[in-house]
Amino acid sequence: MAPLTPVAERPQTASPSFDVERLRADFPILHRPVHGRPLIYLDNAATTQKPRAVIDTIKRYYEQENSNIHRGVYTLSQEATAAYEGAREKVRGFINAADTKEIIFTRGTTESINLVASSFGRSRFKPGDEIVITGMEHHSNIVPWQLICEQTGAVLRVVPFNDRGELLMDQFEKLLTPRTRLVGVVHVSNSLGTVNPVRQIIQMAHEHGAVALVDGAQWVAHGKTDVRSLDADFYAFSGHKLFGPTGIGVLFGKKALLEAMPPYQGGGDMISSVTFEKTTYNDLPHKFEAGTPHISGGIGLGAAIDYLQDVGLDAIGNYERDLLAYATARLTEIPGLRLVGTAAQKASVLSFVLEHIHPHDIGQALDARGIAVRTGHHCCQPVMDRFRIPATARASLAFYNKTTEVDALADGIRGAIKMFA
Residue range 380-394, pLDDT digits in tens: 999 999 999 999 999
Residue range 348-383, pLDDT digits in tens: 999 999 999 999 999 999 999 999 999 989 999 999
How long, in residues, is the chain? 421
Check residue 271 and give its pLDDT: 76
* Residues contacting 102, CB < 8 A, separation 6+: 92, 252, 253, 254, 255, 258, 284, 285
Check residue 1 and give its pLDDT: 40
Residue range 35-51, pLDDT digits in tens: 999 999 999 999 999 99
- Residues 78-102: what's their mean pLDDT? 97
- Residues 115-129: what's their mean pLDDT? 96
Question: Confidence class of residue 15 from pLDDT cuts 50, 70 and 90?
Answer: low
pLDDT at residue 112 tops 90 = yes
- Residues 71-83: what's their mean pLDDT? 94
pLDDT at residue 7 tops 80 = no
pLDDT at residue 10 tops 80 = no
Check residue 421 and give its pLDDT: 79
pLDDT at residue 149 tops 80 = yes
- Dmax over Cα atoms in the chain, in whole Å? 72
The architecture in CATH of the region 55-309 reads: 3-Layer(aba) Sandwich (3.40)
33 in the Ramachandran plot: left (φ > 0), alpha (ψ -120 to 50) or beta?
beta
Q: How many other CB atoms are there within 10 angstroms of residue 81's CB atom?
A: 18
Question: Confidence class of residue 275 from pLDDT cuts 50, 70 and 90?
Answer: confident
Q: Return the higher-pLDDT residue of 341 and 16.
A: 341
Check residue 281 and give its pLDDT: 80
Residue range 150-202, pLDDT digits in tens: 999 999 999 999 999 999 999 999 999 999 999 999 999 999 999 999 999 99
Please give the class, per CATH, of domain 7-49+312-416: alpha beta
CATH 3.40.640.10 domain locations along the chain: 55-309
Q: What is the DSSP letter of 188?
A: B
State the catalytic residue, choosing from 46, 147, 169, 379: 379
Residue range 52-76, pLDDT digits in tens: 999 999 999 999 999 999 988 999 9
Q: Is 379 a catalytic residue?
A: yes
Q: Return the higher-pLDDT residue of 148 and 275.
A: 148
Angle at 160 between CA 123 and CA 176, to 5 degrees: 45
Question: Confidence class of residue 13 from pLDDT cuts 50, 70 and 90?
Answer: low
What is the chain's Cα-based Rg? 22
Check residue 316 and give its pLDDT: 97
**Cβ-contact 234, 252 below 8 angstroms:** yes
CATH 3.90.1150.10 domain locations along the chain: 7-49+312-416
**Cβ-contact 92, 84 below 8 angstroms:** no
Residue range 314-328, pLDDT digits in tens: 999 999 999 999 999
Predicted TM-score (pTM) of the model is 0.94
Check residue 8 and give its pLDDT: 33
Range of lowest pLDDT (203-207, 262-266, 393-397):
262-266
Which residues are 214's β-sheet partners?
A: 185, 235
